[in-house]
Structure 1
C-alpha cells in the first residue's frame, strides 16, 4: 500500500524521487484529455446548445482546427504542476501516516486519522500548486496570450495582482482535500484485496509483505485499485472541481473576445454552485463528468502504478 509501512526500507529522498517520476509520467500521458476536459467544462450553455457536441466530437474539432499540438497547450507548466503536485501528495501522505502509526492514539481512531492524512496531503498540494494551475488553465484557453511560464505569470498578475494566482483556491481546497483523502483510502482498501486474491493469502499478510510481490502483481493490483480510486474520488467531489475551474478564469480577459464570451465564469464558490444548478439542475453540476472520470481513472492508474513500481525498483537496488 501507499503510506507508511513499518518494515519499509525506502528513505524519504527515495520516496520523493518516486513521486517526481510519477508526476512526470502522469502529466505526459493525460495532458490531451485535460485540454478537452477543460474546454468542455468552461463552455457557456449557449455554445453547448449550438454545438450539441459530445467530448469525443470536441476532440476531433480541436484536432481539425488547431492541430495535434493543441492537445499539449500549457504542457510545460502542466508538467511542473504535476511533478510538484504528486510529489507533495505522496510525500505528505507518507510522512503524516508515519506520524499517526508511531503515535499513542487508540487504534480505533487511526483509520480516520489516516484518512485525514490524505485530506492534509490534498489540501497542502492545492495551496502549493494553485498559482501554476491558474497559469496552466489560461494557457490551455489561449496559448499565445499566456505563452511561457514567465509571460503567463505576468499576464495573470496584470488582472488582479497576486490574488489572481489564487482564484478558486477555496473550491480547490474543498475539492482536492477530500478527493485525495478518498483516493488514498480507496486505493489502500482495494489493492490488498486484489493482492490477497492473486496470492490466496489473508489480507494482513499481503499488507506486511507487499514489497515481496512480483512487479507484475503490483502492477495489476495497482491498476485495478487506481481505477477504482480515481472513479470514486472524482465522482464524489466533482461539483467542486467544476466550480474551481470556472473561478480560476474569473478575471480572465482574452484578446480574442469571441472566445472570452464563450466561457462560463464565476467569482465565488456559492455563485458557481447556484449557477451550475440553475443551468441544468443536478446535471449542470456534473457538466463534463464523463471525460473527467476517464481522465481521473487514467491519472490515478498511472500515478499509483508508476509510484509503486518506482518504489519497488528502488527497493531492489
Structure 2
C-alpha cells in the first residue's frame, strides 16, 4: 500500500480514537468485519423482533386461515390488523401477542449474526472482482439469506407453531423443550424442516433484492442529506431499509404463505387455533396448486398487508440498529485500543 494511503489511514484512526459514538463520518465508510457483523447483526435481530412480534402472530394466523371457494364465504377470524390484535388480546391475553417469542428471539439472534457475517464475508471476497456493485449485493444477500435460513429453520418452524396455538384445547406444546421432544417423537428429524424448500426459494430472491435495493437507497438518502441539504433526522438508514423491505417482501410473499401452511402439517395439524388446515403435498408447486384450486390465487397473498406493515418497521429497525451498533462497537474498540496503548 502506498505511504500516502498509510498516512491517511493513520490520520483517520487518530480521529476515530477521539470520536464519540455519534461521530460516524469515518466509521460508516469501512466494510464491517465478520466479528462486527455477527455482534451488530445479532443486536439488530433481537431488537427488531421484540417490537414486531405481535404483528408476526397476526400475520401467521391470517396466512393459516383457509377459505373454500365452494359455498358461502365463511366469516374470517382474523381480518384486519387492529381487530386481530384486539381479538387475540381479548380471548387469549396480552402475552399471546408475544407467543412464540422465545424461539423467535433465538431465531433472530442467530439469523441476524449469521446473515450479516456471511454477507460481509462474501462482499469482501467479491470486492476485487470487476463486476457491478448491484450483482455483488445480490449474490451476497442471496447467499447470506439462504445460509441463515437453513441454519435457523427449526427455530422458525417452532415460532410458527407456537404462534398458531392457543390456550386450553388448542395448546399443543407446553414449552420449547416439550415442542422439541414432541416433534422428534411424532415426526422425526425431518419434522423440524417442514417447508424448508419454499423458505429457501423465498429467502434467496428476497435477501438478494433487499440488499441490492438497500445499498442504492442508502446512497440516495446520503445524497439527499449531503448534496441537497435534506434533513432526514438521522433516519436515512431506516428509510432505506424500509423501502428495500417493502419491495422485496411483496415480490416473494406467496412463498411465505406456502412455508407457513407446510410448517403446521403433521399429526398436530388439527389442534391449532385455526383448525381444519388442509393436508398439502410436500412440494412448492403441489402446495401452490392446492391452495389456488381450493381458495383462489388471492389466498397466496393472505396476510400481505400485515407483512408489509411489519416489514417496514422490521427492516428500518434492523438496519438502523445495525448501523448504530456498528458505530458504537467501533468507538468502544478504539477506546480499548487507546487504553491499552
1:300 to 315, 319, 335: 315
Q: 1-side partners of 2:139 and 2:161: how far apart?
A: 32
Is residue 90 from structure 1 mapped to residue 104 from structure 2 by the alignment? no
What whole-Å deviation, never above 9, does each CA across 1:18-76 have from its counterpart, x for those lacking one?
A: 11110110111111110011001001215972237333322221111001110011111
Is residue 162 from structure 1 mapped to residue 189 from structure 2 by the alignment? yes
Q: 2-side partners of 1:66 and 1:199: how far apart?
A: 49
Is residue 187 from structure 1 mapped to residue 214 from structure 2 by the alignment? yes
Query: Are 1:219 and 1:309, in contact at CA under 8 Å, matched by a contact in 2?
Result: no
Query: Are 1:40 and 1:55, in contact at CA under 8 Å, matched by a contact in 2?
Result: no
Aligned to 1:111: 134
Q: 2-side partners of 1:219 and 1:56: how far apart?
A: 30
Change (3 A) 1:159 1:270: farther
Change (3 A) 1:48 1:181: farther
1:81 to 87, 94, 107: 107
What do you get for the CA RMSD once the two structures are aligned?
2.5
Q: 2-side partners of 1:132 and 1:181: how far apart?
A: 22
Q: 1-side partners of 2:317 and 2:134: how far apart?
A: 25
Aligned to 1:147, the other structure's residue is in SS state: coil
Which segments of structure 1 move beyond 4 Å, counting only runs of 4 or more? Answer: none
Change (3 A) 1:87 1:251: same
Q: 1-side partners of 2:269 and 2:184: how far apart?
A: 14
1:261 Cα deviation from its structure 2 partner: 2.9
1:67 to 79, 93, 115: 93
Summarize the alignment of residues 276-287 of structure 1 with structure 2, pairs less than 5 Å apart. Answer: 276-287=291-302
Change (3 A) 1:219 1:171: farther
In structure 1, runs of 5+ residues without a counterpart are 202-215
Change (3 A) 1:6 1:101: farther
What whole-Å deviation, never above 9, does each CA across 1:180-234 have from its counterpart, x for those lacking one?
A: 1111111111011111111117xxxxxxxxxxxxxx9684111211110110110
Query: Are 1:135 and 1:156, in contact at CA under 8 Å, matched by a contact in 2?
Result: no
Aligned to 1:261, the other structure's residue is in SS state: coil
Aligned to 1:101: 127
Deviates more, 1:269-278 or 1:305-314: 269-278
Larger Rg: 2
What whole-Å deviation, never above 9, does each CA across 1:237-269 have from its counterpart, x for those lacking one?
A: 001011011111111516747x46333552321
Aligned to 1:263, the other structure's residue is in SS state: coil
Is residue 51 from structure 1 mapped to residue 76 from structure 2 by the alignment? yes
Is residue 242 from structure 1 mapped to residue 281 from structure 2 by the alignment? no
Q: TM-score, normalised by structure 2?
A: 0.80
2:165 to 142, 158, 169: 142
Summarize the alignment of residues 193-204 of structure 1 with structure 2, pairs less than 5 Å apart. Answer: 193-200=220-227
1:311 Cα deviation from its structure 2 partner: 0.8
Change (3 A) 1:219 1:271: farther
Structure showing the higher helix proportion among its residues: 1
Change (3 A) 1:291 1:6: closer
1:6 Cα deviation from its structure 2 partner: 11
Deviates more, 1:149-158 or 1:63-72: 149-158
1:280 Cα deviation from its structure 2 partner: 4.3
